[in-house]
Amino acid sequence: MAGVGSRSGVSYDARGLVEPHADMPDNVEVDGGRARFDASDLTIRQINMALRKLIYDDGITDVTILNPASKHSLAVGILKRCRIHFEGSPGWFACGLIDGPEVTINGRVGWSVAENMMSGVVTIERSAGSLTGAAIRGGDLIVKGDVGARTGIDQKGGTIIVLGDVGINTGFMMQRGRQIICGNAGMNLGDSMYDGEIYVAGTVASLGVDCVPGAWTDADTELIERKFRIHGLGDPPEFQKFVCGKVLHNYDQLEPSERKLVIH
């Protein structure tokens, strides 16, 4: 494998930063359409190899991964309808680029969970790091604890629900989709957002550039009640709605050809 040089003159691979080869783990238990394995002693590559083989090659539709121990980049790029359950806490970049899976995580997750998710559901029982749902395009992402900064940055669709608090720059440059924040929001909420809706039940430290309070409609009530009902989140609290003020970015003023380029 070609090495990428560093200033120390040691190649990238020689420093042990990548895992070019891995053996398929032999501790997978299969029971009909379900499977489970313990990830404690497995590398990231081994975990993802096993997961992909089970889902794509063996036709398994329900996989439980025990003890992910905060390892990074687990269950990334799964493009098939299936159920994945993490018994424990994955690390950074979990479930990125997925299209279809229904994922449950009974621990916490690190930065950038469900980044670029296209469709599916990711439910996290505890907290999440920063950049949660970055550039998400579809599906539902539910965090039952608090999340860090920049939740849903560059969000292009889908719904992010946070039962706890969110940090600074939540919804930064959001383009479409919805965020439902049940706790408090940090500074610069919705800064430079293009479109979409942000609902906040708690306090907002400050609104970002061109983020303004929006008019509540029946559709907002219906959406929130439906999402809470589907995901078993109980009765929703009362929310304030925030939208784009259309001063900084205004799609409505674009020519039809430009709208096609930007919106679609």
Partner 1 sequence: MCGIAGVIHRDGTADIGAELTAMLQSMKHRGPDSTGYAVYGPADDLVVIRFVLAEPNKSTGIGMAERLERNRAEVESRLAKIGAEVATVTNDTGYAFRATIRYGGDLKALADYLEDVPGCEVLSLGNSLEIIKDLGDATTVSDQYHLGSFRGTHGIGHVRMATESEVDLASAHPYWAYPFADVAVVHNGQLTNYHQWRRRLEQHGHRFQSECDSEIIAVYLAEYMSRGLTLETAMKHSLDDLDGVFTYVCVTGNQLGVAKDEMAAKPLVLFESDPLVAVATEEVAIRSLVKREVVTRDPYEREVLVWQV
Rounded to a whole number of angstroms, the CA Rg of the chain reads 20
Q: Which is nearer to partner 1, 168 or 198 (CB)?
A: 168
Q: Which is nearer to partner 1, 108 or 156 (CB)?
A: 108
Helices (H), the chain: 44-52, 218-230, 256-263
CB of 148 to partner 1, least distance (A): 4
Task: Give the residues across from 200 on adjacent strands.
Answer: 181, 240
CB of 71 to partner 1, least distance (A): 6
CB of 109 to partner 1, least distance (A): 8
Neighbouring C-alpha atoms within 13 Å toward the C-beta of 6? 9
Return d(Cα 179, Cα 142) in angstroms, integer: 10
Which of 77, 150, 145, 87 lies closest to 117, judged by CA? 77
CB of 103 to partner 1, least distance (A): 17
CB of 106 to partner 1, least distance (A): 9
> What one-character DSSP code corresponds to residue 147?
B
Q: Which is nearer to partner 1, 19 or 222 (CB)?
A: 19
Binding site for partner 1 (CB under 8 A): 6-8, 10, 15-17, 69-72, 88-89, 91-92, 107-108, 110-111, 126-127, 129-130, 146, 148-150, 167-169, 186-187
Q: Which is nearer to partner 1, 72 or 241 (CB)?
A: 72
Backbone dihedral region for residue 8 (phi beyond 0: left; psi -120 to 50: alpha; all else: beta): alpha
CB of 57 to partner 1, least distance (A): 29
CB of 149 to partner 1, least distance (A): 4
Q: Which is nearer to partner 1, 107 or 202 (CB)?
A: 107
Which of 42, 82, 39 lies closest to 62, judged by CA? 82
Q: How far is CA 19 from CA 12, 46, 105, in A?
A: 11, 10, 25
Q: Which is nearer to partner 1, 110 or 196 (CB)?
A: 110
Return d(Cα 243, Cα 53) in angstroms, integer: 43
Q: Which is nearer to partner 1, 140 or 191 (CB)?
A: 191
Return d(Cα 78, Cα 97) in angstroms, integer: 7
